[in-house]
Structure 1
């Protein structure tokens, strides 16, 4: 997963995968029928890890705005702390492959829909608790935040925390 995340699908060679896993190329292809199958499993693992982190971040007590701000800030801080700023594997894959590979595009869309659902659920909870206006469409707000997060992950490759935090605060002003 780390190799694909650092170099992209096309930029990751079988030799790199063998070296990263410590498994000979032949054995690697015996375990996984293709580079593509291994890549799909890596995407699934990445999404599973994101889901676990999102659950922890979005289940924090406090107002919806505070919780979402802390969650977005946590992702930004994590991206900025990496020795190589690589953004999001799902977003990077969308840019690299989704325009030319319908199967990958469909898989990524399902993942993105699920993550948008996490935001929507938190916003709906905020509406029930009275800290998010009930006249706002939770799905539209969630899509706005998912889009903001995708942009933050890209911008974290070239920008520093103050600019990214301003974007977070501006995005949350719609709540």
Structure 2
């Protein structure tokens, strides 16, 4: 099993596709991976930390601070070094832009900038956003950094439109990771 014992940081961004992150966590755990979830502030409108922490068996990280009064914080450098892979699924247009430009407004972006591991992004956005030149340039920029921007299949979108922009299904994301680690080994 190529994911057995692998340490995966899963970044979940604000998108209706965030509901798929619960299935993704479950599949990664079933494949033998250890999963640490980072939930952006906007993602918590779509999926709860309780759901993801129950499935991952780890507290979900939502910000830099553990305990503000005690001065305890989540060490983004340590998380970036711990991970065998950083997976951002769903990757919203906002997060894609932040990562492509090196902006660091949240814990997920800080971990990305500190990560020494391979990075996989599963975009999820409406088709016009997905096809917008600014977003396609951000995808290209992220690829030029060595990141893996996963294909976004066409299909029915939450807006009612149909086309590319859907997040790759959790089973397909796991298959991509397994292929990567099989080749790497």
Higher strand residue share: 2
If you compute each CA radius of gyration, which structure gives the higher value, 1 or 2?
1
Task: Say whether the fold is shared (TM-score over 0.5).
Answer: no
| TM-score w.r.t. length of structure 2 | 0.23
